[in-house]
C-alpha cells in the first residue's frame, strides 16, 4: 500500500521530492530536537494522484484519519473540540519553494462551538474570535475562491468604524461582529454555509492546496523558474501555535545571514501579536531582531541558538519562520534561503573561511546567472544631478529605470511594447506576479526585506525597493505621492535596489564593480569601493579562479573583430571559437561583395576578390594580434548571398517607379536580376555555407588566402598566430574533401610565396543531423568539429530559427511541449543525442579530434554542464558570457 502520510518524525531533509521542501525540513528539525509543533505531511504523490484522477486516492482518507488520531492522542486534544480544541494549519509545500504561490489555511478546526472552547482555554476571548475570523477569511478566499477583497474591505470598514489603524486594536466584540459578517459573505458568495465540521474543513483545505498547484500564477511562476509542471505539492498539517495571543506572542521570519548583502549575522523581521502571513504580507511595519531581544531576551537567545544550529547543520544560509506563543519559541519552517547574487558569492566564501564547506562546494553555491546579474550596470553615483525622492529598503539589487505603472495589466502591456516600467504598489501579493515579471523593477510602500515583493523579486533577480514609507500609493486613482511630488502613470523614475534609493526621472548607469573587475582586474576594481563591495569582489575573484583551476572545458569567445577579441581576452577567453566572417562584409564593404555577386565573368569576379583580399587580410591580422598565442577559429562565409543585396521588395518598387518615369538605372536592373536569381523560399536551407564555397568559384579561396597571408605576415614579425579554418554547414564528407583539396593547394602556395611554413588546421561545423550521423566519415577530412547548435537545433527540430520563437513558442511553453526554448538551452534528448553520436564516432576515426561548440548554447549554464559531460574540449560564447561560462565549466567539473 502506498504511504501517503508521513509523521514529522518519519521524514528527513533529503525526502524533498516526496514531502516537499517544507515537509522535509520540518521533519529534519523535528529529528534535530528543535521545537517544532507536532504534525504530519501528505506527500506530493498524493497530490499527483489527485490531479491525475480528479479525486483523492482511496487510501488517503484512512491514512489521514489515522495520522490525525495519533496527533490527537499525543496531545490529548481533539480537532475542533468544544473544550480546548486542537487546531491545525494546512500549508502547501512543493519540492522547490514557490513563495506565496500556493495556499495556506490556518486555524482549521474552529467553528461556532470550538471558538468558545478556545476562548476559555486561552483565557483570551479576543484572541479566539480573531483566530476564527482569520479562518473564515482564509478559508473563504482560498478554499471557496471568494474574492479576498470581500473580506479585507469588511475588515477595513470595521477599523474605520472604530477609528483605529490596525487589526490588533479591534476588540472581541468587533471581531465577533466580523465573524457574523464573514459567514454571511461566505453564504452569499459561495452559496453554502461555512462548514462547521472540523474534518470537513480539513478535507476541503487539503483539496484546495492540491488544486492551488494549477492556478495561473503557480504555472507562470514554474515556467519562469523552470520547475516541472507535474511535480505536485505536499500538504503539511501542523498543530497550531499562536502568535496572536497578546503582547508576549508574535511571529517572525529570519535569516541566519543577510540575504540581501550576504553580511554575516542573523537578520529578520518580527511582528508582535500577529499570526501567519502577516509578516510576509507586509501589512504592518515590522520590528527587527534587535527589538525582539529587548522585548523577550529569553526567546531571542533561544532563537539565536536554533539558528546557529540550523546553519551548522545545513552548512548554508537558512531562512526560518517562527512563532512565539506566550514567550515559548516554535519553529514553523526552515529552508536553505534564497539570496541575492552578491550575497551568494559572499556567503559561499564566508562558509569556506568558517570551515563549513570546501572551495569545491562553494562553487556549487553560486551560478552563472548570479554572476551575470553582478555584471549589470549600476546608477552613476558621481553622475549628474539626481533628485532623490526617498529611501526605502534595499530589497533586491540592481538599477532599474522605467515609467511608473500601478498594476500588472499596465506592466504587461508595456513589456509587450518593449517599454521598461517600474511596478509601484502599496504592497504586492501573489496576484501581482505577472506584473513583477514584466516590470524592470518593483517599488512598494509597505513591507520589509522579507515581504512578498522582496522575496519574490530576489528570487527572480529583479530590482526591488520596498517599504518606502513616505510613498503614498493610490492604486485606484493611479497616482503616488512622495512628499510634494505626485507621480502618475508613465512618469519616469529610477530605483536602486542596492541602496534603496528612489529617484525622479532617468538616472544614468555605469559599469558595476564586478564588471570592472572582470574587464580590468581586481586592483582596478577595488579603487574607492566600500567594505561590502571589496568583500564581494574578493569572493568573486576567489571563486572564479577556483573554477578556472577545476574546469576541464576550455572557454573561447565568438568574436569578429580585434576590439571584441581584446575584450573577450580580458574576460578570460582562451581563444576564439567562432569568427563569423560575414560580419566583415557589412557597411562600406557591402558594395565590394555586391560586385562579386554581380560579376559577369570569372575575371570580373577575380578582380572584385582582389579588392577584398587586402581588407580581409587586415581584419585577420587584427583578430590574430588580439589573440596572439591562442587559437582563433575563422569560419568561411556562411550566409546566403542575398543577405548582402538590397531588399527584394524595396528594389522592385524602386525599379518599377523608375520605369514608370522612364529613367531606370541599368545598375539597379542588374541588381534586381541578381536579387531575383538568388531569391530562395527557405534561405536558411538554401545556398549557404559550404555550398557557396563549391558553387561560387574563388569565394572561399579569397578568404583562405587572406587568412594564410595574415598568419604568415604575423609569424614573420615574430608573433605566434594560431589560426584554424572552419567550414560551415557541411552535410557530406565529400563537400569537405573538395574544399580541403582547394585549401591545401592555397596554403602550399602561400607558404612558398611567403617562405613561412605553418600548419593551419581545417575543420568543420556540425550543424546538420546528417553531419552528426556521418561523423565517422566527416572526421576523415576534419581536424576539428565545432557544433553549431543554432543551426543544429533548427535542422533537428525543423524549426526556422528566425520565425518560430515569435510565432508559437509561447504556446509551446504554455502547453508544456518544452520548459525552455531549445534555442536558449540545449535540447539534450534530441540535439544532445546527435552531439553524443558525433563525438563518439568522430573520435573513433580521429582520436585527437578537437571538439567545441560555438552556438548560443555555449554560454548557457545548463547546456555547459551537458557539454562537459559529453567530453567536448571547449565552449565558445559571446565575450560578455565568457566569465559565466568559466564559472559554469568549473561548477560542472565539481558537481
Ligand atoms: C550555429 O549555427 O550554431 C552557429 C554558431 O552559426 P550561426 O549562428 O552563425 O549560423
Ligand atoms: Mg550556423
Q: Each residue of 621-671: pLDDT tens digit?
A: 999 999 999 999 999 999 998 888 888 998 999 999 999 998 889 889 989
Q: Does the structure show a pLDDT above 90 at 167? A: no
What whole-number percentage of the chain has pLDDT above 90?
Answer: 75
Pairing of strands 318-325, 328-336: antiparallel
Write the secondary structure of 642-703 as one string of H (helix), E (strand) and C (coil). HHHCCCHHHHHHHHHHHHHCCCCCHHHHHHHHHHHHHCCCCHHHCCCCHHHHHHCCCHHHHH
The response to whether residue 791 sits with its C-beta less than 6 Å from ligand 1 reads: yes
Instruction: Average the pLDDT over 353-381 and give the result.
Output: 92
The response to whether residue 582 sits with its C-beta less than 6 Å from ligand 1 reads: no
Residues in the chain, how many? 895
Q: Is 306 exposed, middle or buried (0-12, 13-18, 19+ CB in 10 A)?
A: buried
Could you report the per-residue pLDDT of 43-77, keeping only the tens digit for each? Answer: 999 999 999 999 999 999 999 999 999 999 999 99
The response to whether residue 789 sits with its C-beta less than 6 Å from ligand 1 reads: yes
The response to whether residue 854 sits with its C-beta less than 6 Å from ligand 1 reads: yes
Is 466 labeled as catalytic in the residue annotation? no
Q: Does the structure show a pLDDT above 90 at 809? A: no
Instruction: Average the pLDDT over 369-389 and give the result.
Output: 83
Q: Does the structure show a pLDDT above 80 at 529? A: yes
Could you report the per-residue pLDDT of 189-232, keeping only the tens digit for each? Answer: 999 999 999 999 999 999 999 999 988 888 888 887 788 888 99
Could you report the per-residue pLDDT of 10-19, keeping only the tens digit for each? Answer: 999 999 999 9
Q: What distance in angstroms lies between residue 730's CA and the mean position of ligand 2's atoms?
A: 10
Q: How confident is the model at residue 842 (pLDDT cuts 50, 70, 90)?
A: very high
Instruction: Average the pLDDT over 689-706 and give the result.
Output: 96
Q: What distance in angstroms lies between residue 501's CA and the mean position of ligand 1's atoms?
A: 42
* Most confident range, picked from 325-339, 373-387, 462-476, 831-845: 831-845
CA distances from 785 to 801, 806, 842, 875 (A): 22, 31, 8, 12
Could you report the per-residue pLDDT of 722-771, keeping only the tens digit for each? Answer: 999 999 999 999 999 999 999 999 999 999 999 999 999 999 999 999 99
Q: How many CA atoms lie within 13 A of 744 on its CB side?
A: 9
pLDDT at res. 686: 94
Q: Which helix (H) or strand (E) holds 568?
A: helix 562-570
pLDDT at res. 590: 83
Q: What angle separates helix 125-138 from helix 172-190, to the nearest 10 degrees?
A: 20
The residues placing their C-beta within 5 Å of ligand 2, an ion, are: 767, 788, 791
Could you report the per-residue pLDDT of 566-592, keeping only the tens digit for each? Answer: 999 999 999 999 999 988 887 778 888
* Rounded CA separation 236/41 (Å): 4
DSSP 801: T
Instruction: Average the pLDDT over 89-101 and give the result.
Output: 85
Beta carbons of 282 and 453 less than 8 angstroms apart: yes
Q: Which helix (H) or strand (E) holds 20?
A: helix 16-31
Is 452 labeled as catalytic in the residue annotation? yes
Closest atom of ligand 1 to CA, residue 728: 6
Q: How confident is the model at residue 541 (pLDDT cuts 50, 70, 90)?
A: very high
Beta carbons of 400 and 509 less than 8 angstroms apart: no
Q: Count CB neighbours of 361 within 10 A.
A: 16
* Rounded CA separation 451/466 (Å): 8
Q: Does the structure show a pLDDT above 90 at 858? A: yes
pLDDT at res. 219: 85
- State the chain's mean pLDDT as an integer: 92
Q: What distance in angstroms lies between residue 788's CA and the mean position of ligand 1's atoms?
A: 5
The response to whether residue 790 sits with its C-beta less than 6 Å from ligand 1 reads: yes
DSSP 483: T
pLDDT at res. 210: 95
| Predicted model pTM | 0.83
Q: Does the structure show a pLDDT above 70 at 384? A: no
Q: Does the structure show a pLDDT above 60 at 282? A: no
pLDDT at res. 860: 92
Q: How confident is the model at residue 459 (pLDDT cuts 50, 70, 90)?
A: low
Beta carbons of 94 and 234 less than 8 angstroms apart: yes
Pairing of strands 784-787, 850-853: parallel
Catalytic residue among 47, 452, 642, 868: 452
Q: Count CB neighbours of 687 within 10 A.
A: 16
- For residue 630, give the 3-state DSSP assignment: coil
Amino acid at each position: 500500500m502506498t504511504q501517503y502520510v508521513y509523521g514529522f518524525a518519519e521524514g528527513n531533509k533529503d525526502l524533498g521530492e516526496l514531502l516537499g521542501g517544507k515537509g522535509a525540513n520540518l521533519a529534519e528539525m523535528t529529528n534535530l530536537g528543535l521545537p517544532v509543533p507536532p504534525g504530519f505531511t501528505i506527500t506530493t504523490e498524493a497530490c499527483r494522484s489527485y490531479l491525475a484522477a480528479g479525486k483523492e486516492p482511496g487510501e488517503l482518507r484512512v491514512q489521514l484519519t489515522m495520522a490525525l488520531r495519533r496527533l490527537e492522542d499525543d496531545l490529548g486534544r481533539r480537532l475542533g473540540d468544544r473544550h480546548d480544541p486542537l487546531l491545525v494549519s494546512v500549508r502547501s509545500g512543493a519540492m522547490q519553494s514557490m513563495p506565496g504561490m500556493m495556499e495556506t489555511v490556518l486555524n482549521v478546526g474552529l467553528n461556532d462551538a470550538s471558538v468558545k472552547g478556545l476562548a476559555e482555554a486561552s483565557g483570551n476571548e479576543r484572541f479566539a474570535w480573531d483566530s476564527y475570523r482569520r479562518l473564515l477569511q482564509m478559508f473563504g478566499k482560498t478554499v471557496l475562491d471568494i474574492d479576498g477583497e470581500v473580506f479585507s474591505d469588511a475588515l477595513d470598514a470595521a477599523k474605520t468604524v472604530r477609528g483605529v489603524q490596525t487589526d490588533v486594536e479591534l476588540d472581541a466584540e468587533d471581531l465577533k461582529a466580523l465573524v457574523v459578517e464573514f459567514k454571511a459573505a461566505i453564504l452569499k458568495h459561495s452559496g453554502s454555509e461555512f462548514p462547521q465540521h472540523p474534518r470537513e474543513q480539513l478535507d476541503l483545505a487539503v483539496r484546495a492546496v492540491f488544486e492551488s498547484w494549477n492556478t495561473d500564477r503557480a504555472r507562470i511562476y514554474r515556467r519562469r523558474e523552470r520547475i516541472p509542471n507535474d511535480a505536485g505539492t505536499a500538504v503539511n498539517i501542523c498543530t497550531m501555535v499562536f502568535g496572536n495571543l497578546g503582547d508576549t506572542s508574535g511571529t517572525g521570519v529570519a535569516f541566519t545571514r543577510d540575504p540581501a548583502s550576504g553580511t554575516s549575522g542573523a537578520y529578520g523581521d518580527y511582528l508582535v501579536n500577529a499570526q501567519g502571513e502577516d509578516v510576509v504580507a507586509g501589512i504592518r511595519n515590522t520590528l527587527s531582531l534587535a527589538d525582539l531581544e529587548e522585548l523577550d531576551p529569553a526567546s531571542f537567545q533561544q532563537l539565536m541558538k536554533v539558528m546557529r544550529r540550523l546553519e551548522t547543520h545545513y552548512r548554508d544560509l537558512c531562512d526560518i519562520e517562527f512563532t512565539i506563543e506566550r514567550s515559548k519559541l516554535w519553529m514553523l519552517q526552515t529552508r536553505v534561503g534564497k539570496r541575492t547574487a552578491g550575497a551568494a558569492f559572499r556567503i559561499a566564501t564566508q562558509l569556506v573561511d568558517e570551515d563549513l564547506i570546501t572551495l569545491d562546494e562553494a562553487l556549487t553555491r553560486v551560478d552563472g546567472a548570479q554572476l551575470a546579474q553582478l555584471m549589470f550596470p549600476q546608477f552613476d553615483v558621481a553622475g549628474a544631478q539626481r533628485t532623490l525622492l526617498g529611501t526605502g529598503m534595499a530589497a533586491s539589487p540592481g538599477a532599474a529605470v522605467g515609467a511608473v505603472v500601478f498594476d500588472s495589466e499596465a506592466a504587461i502591456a508595456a513589456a509587450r511594447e518593449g517599454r521598461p516600467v517600474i511596478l509601484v504598489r502599496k504592497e504586492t501579493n501573489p496576484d501581482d506576479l505577472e506584473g513583477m515579471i514584466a516590470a524592470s523593477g518593483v517599488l512598494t510602500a509597505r513591507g520589509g526585506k522579507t515581504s512578498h515583493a522582496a522575496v519574490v523579486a530576489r528570487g527572480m533577480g529583479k530590482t526591488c525597493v520596498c517599504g518606502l514609507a513616505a510613498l503614498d500609493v493610490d492604486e485606484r486613482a493611479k497616482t503616488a505621492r512622495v512628499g510634494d511630488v505626485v507621480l502618475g502613470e508613465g512618469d519616469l523614475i529610477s530605483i536602486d535596489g542596492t541602496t534603496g534609493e528612489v529617484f525622479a526621472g532617468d538616472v544614468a548607469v555605469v559599469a558595476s564593480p564586478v564588471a570592472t573587475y572582470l574587464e580590468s582586474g581586481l586592483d582596478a576594481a577595488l579603487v574607492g569601493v566600500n567594505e561590502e563591495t571589496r568583500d564581494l569582489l574578493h569572493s568573486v575573484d576567489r571563486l572564479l579562479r577556483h573554477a578556472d583551476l577545476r574546469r576541464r572545458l576550455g572557454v573561447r569567445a565568438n568574436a569578429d573583430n580585434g576590439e571584441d577579441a581584446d575584450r573577450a581576452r580580458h574576460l578570460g577567453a582562451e581563444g576564439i571559437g567562432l569568427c563569423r566572417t560575414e560580419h566583415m562584409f557589412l557597411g562600406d564593404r557591402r558594395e565590394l561583395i555586391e560586385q562579386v555577386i554581380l560579376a559577369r565573368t570569372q575575371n570580373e569576379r577575380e578582380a572584385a576578390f582582389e579588392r577584398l583580399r587586402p581588407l580581409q587580410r587586415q581584419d585577420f591580422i587584427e583578430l590574430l594580434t588580439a589573440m596572439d598565442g591562442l587559437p582563433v577559429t575563422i569560419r568561411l562565409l556562411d550566409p546566403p548571398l542575398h543577405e548582402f543585396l538590397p531588399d527584394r521588395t524595396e528594389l522592385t518598387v524602386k525599379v518599377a517607379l523608375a520605369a514608370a518615369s522612364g529613367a531606370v538605372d541599368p545598375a539597379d536592373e542588374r541588381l534586381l536580376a541578381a536579387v531575383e536569381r538568388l531569391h530562395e523560399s527557405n534561405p536558411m536551407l538554401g545556398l549557404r555555407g559550404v555550398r557557396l564555397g563549391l558553387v561560387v568559384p574563388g569565394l572561399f579561396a579569397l578568404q583562405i588566402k587572406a587568412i594564410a597571408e595574415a598568419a604568415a605576415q604575423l609569424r614573420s614579425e615574430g608573433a605566434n598566430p594560431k589560426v584554424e579554418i572552419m567550414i560551415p554547414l557541411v552535410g557530406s564528407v565529400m563537400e569537405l574533401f573538395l574544399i580541403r583539396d582547394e585549401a591545401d593547394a592555397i596554403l602550399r602556395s602561400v607558404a612558398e610565396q611567403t617562405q613561412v611554413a605553418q600548419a593551419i588546421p581545417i575543420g568543420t561545423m556540425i550543424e546538420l543531423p546528417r553531419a552528426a550521423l556521418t561523423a565517422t566519415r566527416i572526421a576523415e577530412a576534419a581536424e576539428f568539429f565545432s557544433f553549431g547548435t543554432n543551426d543544429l537545433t533548427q535542422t533537428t527540430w525543423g524549426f526556422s530559427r528566425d520565425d518560430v520563437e515569435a510565432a508559437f513558442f509561447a504556446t509551446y511553453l504554455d502547453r508544456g511541449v518544452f520548459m525552455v526554448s531549445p534555442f536558449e538551452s540545449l535540447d539534450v534528448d534530441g540535439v544532445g543525442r546527435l552531439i553524443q553520436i558525433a563525438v563518439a564516432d568522430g573520435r573513433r576515426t580521429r582520436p585527437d579530434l578537437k571538439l567545441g561548440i560555438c552556438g548560443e548554447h555555449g554560454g548557457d549554464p545548463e547546456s555547459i554542464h551537458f557539454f562537459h559531460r559529453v567530453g567536448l574540449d571547449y565552449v565558445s560564447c559571446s565575450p560578455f558570457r565568457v566569465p559565466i561560462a568559466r564559472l559554469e565549466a568549473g561548477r560542472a567539473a565539481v558537481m
